[in-house]
């Protein structure tokens, strides 16, 4: 059994946001239901990959079962992170699933855990925490679009992205 297991079915909102200045931003995935708020730390690349996976899944779902609400307008939607931002854990991996009966998409996030305990010769077996966020297709469309906006709002010059990049002229 995982050390932490949280399930919000369905979420009232889901979003991605950052805290900190450009170049030092910490990305958060956040969902809420009623007065329960779940914040998770993710990497920038995970936010981008999640957007791409959602887009691919929605394209496939729309071919099989069209959704009337496929137009995205984020102008009137509050996609900001909610306070307090107290991360449950850092995410190692995420996955998406679909419940056809309820027409909901589930985002499953698994905790990043270290297998090293106090004794290096015998690593501790630690069960990672799991968070499941059940969303409508419309919520996932908004998350997809907004996540891409957040990722793109970083440094304009990719050479400044904290990685060594080689250029030949």
Model confidence pLDDT, tens digit, residues 35-75? 999 999 999 999 999 999 999 999 999 898 877 665 666 67
Burial of 168 by CB count in 10 Å (0-12 exposed, 13-18 middle, 19+ buried)?
Answer: exposed
- Residue-wise pLDDT for 82-95, tens only, equals 999 999 999 999 99
* pLDDT reading at 1 higher than 50: no
What does the pLDDT read at residue 164? Answer: 47
**Residue 137, phi then psi, degrees to nearest 5:** -60, -40
Closest CA to 95 of 145, 150, 61, 56: 56
**Residue 22, phi then psi, degrees to nearest 5:** -55, 135
Q: In sequence order, what are the residues at sequence separation of 6 or more whose Cβ sits closer than 8 angstroms to the Cβ of residue 28?
A: 16, 17, 18, 19, 39, 40, 41, 42, 81, 85, 87
pTM: 0.82
């Amino acid at each position: 059994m995982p050390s932490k297991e949280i399930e919000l079915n369905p979420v009232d909102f889901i979003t991605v946001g950052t805290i900190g200045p450009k170049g030092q931003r910490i990305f958060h995935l956040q969902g809420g239901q009623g007065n329960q708020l779940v914040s998770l730390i993710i990497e920038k690349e995970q936010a981008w990959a999640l957007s791409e996976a959602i887009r691919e899944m929605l394209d496939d779902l729309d071919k099989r079962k069209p959704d009337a609400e496929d137009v995205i307008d984020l102008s009137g939607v509050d996609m900001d992170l909610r306070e307090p931002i107290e991360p449950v854990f850092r995410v190692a991996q995420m996955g998406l699933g679909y419940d056809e009966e309820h027409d909901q998409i589930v985002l499953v996030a698994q905790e990043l855990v270290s297998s090293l305990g106090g004794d290096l010769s015998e690593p501790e077996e630690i069960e990672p925490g799991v968070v499941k966020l059940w969303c409508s297709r419309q919520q996932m469309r908004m998350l997809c679009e907004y996540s891409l906006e957040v990722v793109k709002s970083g440094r304009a010059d990719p050479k400044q992205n904290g990685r060594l990049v080689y250029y030949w002229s």
